[in-house]
A and B are shown apart, each in its own frame.
Chain A
Amino acid sequence: MIDIAVLGAGPAGMAAATQAAQRGASVVLFDESPAPGGQVYRAAPAGYAMPRDADRAEGDALRAALAASNAVVRTGHRVWGVGGGPLVPLGEAAAPFRLDALAPDGSNTITEARALVLATGTHERIIPFPGWTLPGVLGLAAATILLKANGVLPGRRVVVAGAGPLLYAVAAKLAKAGATVAAVVDLAATSEWIAALPALMARPDLLARGAAWRASLTLKGVPVLAAHRIVAAEGVGVLQRVRVAPLAGGDYRVFDCDALTIGHGLVPATEATRAFRAAHRYVAESGGWVPVLDEDRRTSIPLLYACGDGSGVRGAAAAPASGRVAALAALRDLGLIDAASHATSRASPAADFARASRAGGAMARMMALRPALVAAIPPETIICRCEGVTRAQIEAAVEDGATAMNQVKQFTRCGMGPCQGRLCGEAAAELVAARVGGREKAGFATGRVPLRPVAMDALLGDFDYADIPVPRPAPI
């Protein structure tokens, strides 16, 4: 058994693992990606030379520190199972945490750890609109992965839409990589950006980067529409154009394009904390449901910690600091460092986190869910694309008495497919919340394994019938 397992090798997880290993803990860090980096610092694949930019440099620094530590890095490992900890029969002492992961060769690996640090990042929120399931429409995150990890453009003529700084980052990177950016469609009004400025002042580097992105777009003559939304994506079998209108209503504009990259913010990935039945609360400006944490990033479950955007969106700059705070708490709780050492060590990352959180928090607020966008979804628009459930069907289920997400799921199959609500959950929950009196009331679907769909073949392995521990039958 190891001391600390860390799930997710983004900036938060890398920093947590590095910190813990540097202080003598045995550490294993898991990520399904082929290399550490996470969303923003995604590593380039072998053979692809990535442009040197600020992201690259920060990511490389975290990767180098991680590599220099004794942490065992298990990339290419998709963690599908979490267990142990509080998930034991009543009255039994908490068990070691257990992670089941599929290794790159397809085999299943089991890891037991005394403490578990979750650094699982976010999913992108996309609030549906007519045509959002057309080929050619993809998330900002997916577009970045194409760009960063594969060096591939999502299209030649691209509309970039949604909310938050990602919008400008993606648009600028697309333009630089040779795509024509047909338009940037920002949900935020110019006044919101101005209101965020004081908080962004805490991070002049980020501010400068954002300004540079915008300037590069202006230079190229890219239309930037503030306080606008995508009303519909249209095309025969594949995306050909989008309709754009002011949020406040008014005339449509049409932009021809072969790709629409769109993201309405980031939602903390809480599958694992939900599976452990940790306490959660709904904080719109942190991205949604987040685990309840103390100042040292302890969840309500002993020896379970959460850091990075998965515990509340605060951005890439804040993520490593939160990872270090979590790692130090775990070290302390495991008795690997003493109280005095903990107190001195945590001061600096805690201060870093507070500082970076100001800017990150302002950006997170801008990316928070906008109820007006959900209210504008037409009744026949598909919300859950795995199961083909429309807005009208979700609302009919509420009319039929389903007042919480678990029951809406039962009544409609919304969220039962392979994505398990990662894509549709936000819009569906907001539709329910509008009718039952808020997201807290609407709740969330129970977290269960697998955290990701898992191939049976890999699980099963080779076995004989005699190996199956068939329990005793019920009486006849």
Chain B
Amino acid sequence: MSAPFDVAVIGAGVMGCSTALHLARAGMKTVLLDRGAICREASGVNAGTLTMQMTRAALVPYALRAHEMWMRMAEWCDGGHVQAVDCPGLSVAFTEHEIAMLEERAHFRRQAGAPIEIVSTARAREIEPGLSDKALLAGHCPIDGFTSAYLTGRAFRPALLNAGVELREDTAVRGIQPGFSIDTEAGELRATRVVLAGGVWLQDMAAWLGITLPIKVLINQLVVTERLPPVMRTVLGVASGLLSLKQYANGTVLIGGGWQGIGDRERGGLAVKPDSFLGNVRLAAHTIPALRDARVVRSWLGLEAETADALPAIGPIPGVPDAWIIGSVHSGYTSGPYMGKLLAQAICGQAPELPLFPIDRLLAKDQAA
């Protein structure tokens, strides 16, 4: 058998791609495996919102740094990019209850470093002329934006190859033996270290190493319109976080916000739920009334991972030396590239710039090291 890889990263979403890239650039002989194509799960089908106003407060410092990485992706990713757009974001409240929620959430995020200010409807409509006059109050964050997430795999791929990463797509991993011997559909391979980066499939991957790590599966729905004349110019959300709206340069408007559809780990994102579909587009049209005149062209679904406390799983795997995990990051596309960089620092034996999110807290007592 050939010399082992220094590290095998399993799962080529944004987490796996960024981790693999940074590890390879640090000199490690890296293999990146995915059972499908690069970034064809959550990382290629998500809404691409790079927002501080949906990110959990604890993740704001990470998201701010990652926002910067997305905006300058071509510089660190060998020219690869995802058409990132830097624009302000607004989070609006339509009811008294939402006003309270907006203010509370803005407060915590501001404390975490997000420059969010509460603005009147009049001011919000100067920033976003398309906004409905039914909005009562808004949180305004000048650092916001969005990408065309479907380009993520294409953006990472050349840089990964240039850095010497061996990219093996359509290669499902079936198990890992200590040491590590990695059992794939295309045969065994050996690696000194492993990184599990399997999105919602992290639960299965952790089980290969004897770890019980419950991961909840969210089935997020997205809806896109045909091309429209300009109807908005910011990233728009609502206080509860259950809307994300933006218009791309080509005129299409993407409607998201984490409304739930039908699906699961085994079958993927199967179908929208009629009520969620209707609710989501109504909320969008309530917020940007001009959307009433649009036609919906397509909907789709993707799977997002969530741990028990809805905070990330990033760090060493307790009790299994040289095994690492990364994923389950809320608004994980936003902070993905930075999270991969941090984990790579830790794997290379450096102190990461910001703390990781070790998973000991998520494991039953007898499992935690």
Contact = CB atoms under 8 A, between A and B. Distances in A.
Given A418-B295, A471-B259, A476 B157 contact: no
Given A450-B299, A470-B240, A474-B258, A456 B291 contact: yes
Contact of B242 (A410, A446, A473): A473
Which of A81, A403, A411, A413 has its CB near the most chain B CB atoms (within 10 A)?
Answer: A411
A468 B291 contact: no
Interface stretch (A3-11, A82-90, A231-239): A82-90
Contact of B264 (A81, A89, A446): A89
Contacts of B278: 459-460
B72 interface: no
A307 to B, nearest CB: 23
Task: Name the 6 nearest CB pairs between A and B, nearest first.
Answer: A473-B240, A87-B271, A410-B150, A453-B295, A90-B264, A411-B154
Interface stretch (A171-179, A309-317, A394-402): A394-402
Interface stretch (B281-289, B343-351, B355-363): B281-289
Given A401-B167, A416-B297, A456-B291, 9 more contacts: A87-B270, A277-B270, A409-B150, A411-B153, A450-B299, A471-B240, A471-B259, A474-B258, A476-B109
Given A418-B226, A418-B297, A474 B37 contact: no
Interface in A447-476: 448-450, 453-457, 459-460, 463, 465, 467-476
Given A469-B275, A470-B279, A420 B298 contact: yes
B286 A468 contact: yes
Given A416-B298, A473-B101, A475-B56, A465 B286 contact: yes
Interface string B161-175: 000000101100000
A81 B40 CA distance: 25
A450 B57 contact: no
A456 B40 contact: no
A275 interface: yes
Given A88-B262, A460-B285, A450 B298 contact: yes
A438 interface: no
B154 A473 contact: no
Contacts of A110: 274
Contacts of A75: none
B200 interface: no
Given A100-B274, A401-B169, A470-B240, A457 B153 contact: no
Nearest to B225: A456
A75 B69 CA distance: 53
Which of B101, B226, B295, B310 has its CB near the most chain A CB atoms (within 10 A)?
Answer: B295
15 contacts: A81-B277, A88-B262, A401-B167, A406-B40, A411-B154, A449-B277, A456-B281, A456-B285, A456-B292, A465-B134, A470-B283, A471-B258, A472-B240, A473-B240, A476-B105
Nearest to B37: A407
Given A90-B264, A407-B40, A470-B240, A456 B274 contact: no
B interface, how many residues as a size bin?
35 or more
A404 interface: yes
A403 B292 CA distance: 37
B121 interface: no
A98 B274 contact: yes
A36 to B, nearest CB: 26
A87 B264 CA distance: 11
A463 B281 CA distance: 12
Main secondary structure of the interface of A (DSSP, over half): loop
Contacts of A456: 225, 281, 285, 291-296
Interface in B36-86: 37-38, 40, 44, 56-57
B5 interface: no
A313 to B, nearest CB: 26
A437 interface: no
A417 interface: yes
B151 interface: yes
A293 B67 CA distance: 50
Contacts of B259: 471
A422 B355 CA distance: 49
A397 B154 contact: yes
Given A275-B271, A448-B299, A450-B299, A457 B293 contact: yes
Interface of A: 81, 83, 87-90, 98, 100, 110, 275, 277, 397, 400-404, 406-407, 409-411, 413, 416-418, 420, 446, 448-450, 453-457, 459-460, 463, 465, 467-476
B22 interface: no
Contacts of A453: 226, 295-297
A385 B295 CA distance: 18
A43 B225 CA distance: 32
Contacts of A407: 37, 40, 153
A89 B299 CA distance: 18
Contacts of A90: 264, 266-267
B335 to A, nearest CB: 15
B275 A475 contact: no
Contact of B292 (A400, A460, A467): A460
B157 A400 contact: yes
Interface string B237-273: 0111110000000000000001110101011001110
A277 B310 CA distance: 31
B330 interface: yes
A465 B243 CA distance: 13
A416 B109 CA distance: 36
Contacts of B150: 409-411, 413
A81 B272 CA distance: 10
Nearest to B44: A410
A411 B90 CA distance: 29
Contacts of A457: 292-293
Interface string B284-325: 011000011111111110000000001000000000000000
Contacts of B293: 456-457
Contacts of B295: 418, 453-456
Nearest to B158: A400
Which of B104, B108, B266, B274 has its CB near the most chain A CB atoms (within 10 A)?
Answer: B274
B56 A454 contact: no
A410 B38 CA distance: 11
B367 interface: no
Nearest to A411: B154
A240 B17 CA distance: 52
A470 B286 CA distance: 12
Which of A401, A402, A417, A455 has its CB near the most chain B CB atoms (within 10 A)?
Answer: A401
Contacts of B283: 468, 470
B104 A476 contact: yes
Which of B95, B105, B266, B279 has its CB near the most chain A CB atoms (within 10 A)?
Answer: B279
Contacts of B266: 90
